[in-house]
Chain A
């Protein structure tokens, strides 16, 4: 990451208006985030100015009806930090992307509040869990899912319902810091589970290093 110029981003989205909107949000962010390239195919994230962008914002629905899981996997396997920004908000899609190893999953309705913070967190390998991701964790019924404690589910549900960590903290009688740590711990469990990927390993390593989770908790 370029400390002076801030985080660089490549946007892969087949709607030019979306790319332009993301560019505007990033420009207004503090610290600013630079959109170095955008286009309708994953090629923008491989070559040219986007080739070494810190974060790739990726639309799952590129032209076709099938989610572009293959392209996503190639980017993740190359060690790229990917934030999926998609129309879809169903549990299966979210969990599949997280299993592939994307950094965060945002539905398009969450964009205004969460996209820029998610990009900034991705640049620093800090976990970021927007409400739709929280819902996917909390309603996960697969047998191989990571086990969450009732308190963690409680916090995830509340976070999904009100989208305000202040209110979650007030409702549950805990601090915002504790709310964050519950959400992050759930996120790290998911990064630790399933298919191995360099981005997931980096997220887990950073969390252990920061004392967010202990090795024995995973």
Chain B
């Protein structure tokens, strides 16, 4: 099988893996912002806040949100409900933190540690799901912060200088995420195509090997007969020789029927053998009893073989073929009058999956092949 190029294509196309790496980078940014920037400013301005304890609680809550989100993303188990809950906690803690800064110590200044965090935290929770949503959140936070400053009568321009710097980074990050999403989508399509191709190839290989196996089967039995015919060594006046050719013709018909897509392959393949007998002028009555499972192809061959041999060498004019299904067995049987030229041997081995039984009486022969499921 020529699997190497397909496998390497799949390897090249694992861009979706990158998407996860991207989110881990987002997580690192959040943690660095929280612990490297927010924490020092929180500690150094402890005395400034309305309530330092509240600030510590919301800071801890945000660290927890970041850690939980990080772990869930790492194991790809961030569900919709959890996602929205974490986002809600993030936004709520931001609002508590930012409004806890006294008006004299302006929003978006060093004392307002939460402003720099909420944007990254929001992106961590939203970017893989919706880039637009993340951008809307960033806009919302900035509009709120600006509005709040105006409401408390502070200098918006000073805020804007700092805010645009932060927002610029964040928007660039969101844009990169959007591009990556498009790549990931086309990559997964490509991976699916590659997998489909690989499956088709496996099926083709299987069909090919089945064909080869069937050809090998025929080569052992059919080719010698054809060779004899071609070299003129065959004595076609001999009844036994003619019988050998008849059996071979029936076997080939059954092999051809094996590849047909039918609901009941056993009956279908049996009909191919019946057809050969009917062309030889034998009136065959075929009937079924009960339901039967579909036996595997090897079992079908063994089950049909004795019936096929009998049908191919019939000397009478009528035959009755039945397929009997019961709880634990499938039996294929043929009853016909006349002496059969070729002997059908009974297999009585206890461990054989198919047992063959022959009953003869008053010129009638009854051959039964049973598969014990």
Contact = CB atoms under 8 A, between A and B. Distances in A.
Interface of A: 89, 109, 135, 138-139, 157, 160-164, 166-167, 170-171
Contacts of B111: none
A48 B290 CA distance: 43
Given A163-B320, A171-B366, A109 B285 contact: yes
Given A171-B357, A171-B359, A171-B366, A162 B289 contact: no
- Tell me the dominant secondary structure on chain B's binding face: strand
B328 interface: no
A163 B359 CA distance: 13
A178 B175 CA distance: 90
A162 B361 CA distance: 11
Contacts of B361: 164, 166-167, 170
Contacts of A135: 287, 289
B335 interface: yes
B269 interface: no
Contacts of A166: 361-362, 364
A138 B322 CA distance: 14
Contacts of B62: none
Contacts of B357: 171
Contact of A160 (B322, B366, B368): B322
A111 to B, nearest CB: 12
Interface in B334-373: 335, 357, 359, 361-362, 364, 366, 368
A106 to B, nearest CB: 14
B324 A157 contact: yes
A160 B289 CA distance: 8
A105 to B, nearest CB: 15
B110 to A, nearest CB: 84
Nearest to B320: A163
Contact of B335 (A138, A139, A167): A167
Contacts of A157: 289, 324, 326
Contacts of B333: 161-162
A166 B368 CA distance: 16
Given A162-B333, A162-B364, A167-B359, 19 more contacts: A135-B289, A139-B289, A157-B324, A157-B326, A160-B324, A161-B320, A161-B322, A161-B333, A161-B366, A163-B320, A164-B361, A164-B364, A166-B361, A167-B335, A167-B364, A167-B366, A170-B359, A170-B361, A171-B357
Interface string B301-342: 000000000000000000010101010000101010000000
Contacts of B289: 135, 138-139, 157, 160-161
B326 to A, nearest CB: 7
